[in-house]
Amino acid sequence: MDFLESIKQRAKADLKTIVLPESFEPRNLQAAHTVLAEKLARIILIGDRKAITEKAAGLNLEGAEFIDPATYGRMGELAEKLAELRKSKGMTVKEAAALLREDPMYLGVMLVKEGIADGMVSGAIHATADVLRPSLQILKTAPGIKLVSSCFIMVVPDCEYGQGGTFVFSDCALVQNPTAEELSMIAQSAATSCRQLVKAEPVVALLSHSTMGSAKHGDVDKVTEAVRLVKAAAPNLKVDGEFQLDAAIIPSIGERKAPGNPVAGKANVLVFPDLDSGNIGYKLTERLAKAKAYGPVTQGIAKPVNDLSRGCSAEDIVGVIIITAAQAQGL
């Protein structure tokens, strides 16, 4: 069973509720139709039911829940709670109520905050900042994590390395040039993503152009300091570095370059030293190895919120919805 099919089966077995705040956008409506038809998740759409269903002509949205900011009975309660969360910034209840009426991103995140939805998927017509800003203001980061990052689940055909050819690559989409502390946070979040989504025990390699001191440079020092910080924060996690890519995933090379190291040659989570290398790495793997790349998956937020590419297809949105549902299922 491939990765996406396994995620679908898990989603069906434990239905979660995902809010789609871009409820008038055609790809989101097509995705909602598919998810509901295949019983992959419960769906909340934000806006007037009649207007949304007219926009979705020819699609079946039966079973979706519609939350119209103009009539929803819990808007006052949500406004009070948002104002309380943002009181240090001077937000009043009146301002919170207006924000929730006017910005579906904020309403969607508040629905997740209050457990009305288990996760949110957005970004087909909104910038990443517009999706993540309310998420960080309201949900904040997960315990012990100070940074939101991203990962891709890479499924490489006919590959004996990683978790049967499946890897977590991080960060490939968000954090441009992480410090050692930020890199350590990315590694911890990527390990959690491996447990949640791949259902495998993470073996985490922090990558470099150097393996265990074979080169000397400030960039190498950053990676080795990140490894030290991860080990201190998560002593039971299998993590090490710095590793060159081949030493991280190929057992014979790992044993030659880092004899006896429990991570060398066995990694299923690859943490890149910066966004350039991460983005290049996942795209090389996708194009040259004909791998499937699922993501970017947002990690490090206290509850699941995922940001779509504005070039995404309806099929892509379905994939992100079920990945979000899997995140909501936890470990």
What is the per-residue pLDDT across 30-52, written as a single tens digit (0 to 9) for each?
999 999 999 999 999 999 999 99
Q: CA-CA distances (angstroms) from residue 263 to 100, 164, 205, 237?
A: 47, 16, 7, 10
- What average pLDDT does the segment 215-238 reach? 95
Mean pLDDT of 71-97: 95
Answer with the residue of higher pLDDT: 330 or 274: 274
> Where does the pLDDT of residue 309 fall: very low under 50, low under 70, confident under 90, or very high at 90 and above?
confident
Structure tokens that stand for 273 in this block: 């030293």
How many CA atoms does the CB half-sphere of 163 hold within 13 Å?
23
Query: For 286-297, what is the mean pLDDT?
Result: 91
Q: Who contacts 151 (Cβ-Cβ below 8 Å, separation ≥6)? A: 168, 169, 170, 171, 172, 189, 190, 193, 295, 296, 297, 299
Provide, rounded to the nearest whole percent, the portion of the chain with pLDDT above 70: 99
* Predicted pLDDT of residue 282: 94
- For residue 330, the model assigns a pLDDT of 81
pLDDT, residue 331, reads: 62
With 80 as the cut, is the pLDDT of residue 17 above it? yes
Residue 313 Cα distances to 30, 50, 134, 198, 317, angstroms:
9, 24, 24, 23, 6
Across the chain, mean pLDDT equals 94
What's the rounded mean pLDDT across residues 253-259? 95
pLDDT of residue 2: 82
Work out the average pLDDT over 13-26. Answer: 96
Model confidence at 280, in pLDDT bands (50, 70, 90)?
Answer: very high
What pLDDT was estimated at residue 248? 97
Q: What was the pLDDT predicted at 1?
A: 65
Mean pLDDT of 117-123: 96
What confidence category does residue 163 fall into, taking pLDDT thresholds of 50, 70 and 90?
Answer: very high
The predicted pLDDT at position 311 comes to 83
pTM for the model: 0.88
* Per-residue model confidence (pLDDT) at position 177: 95
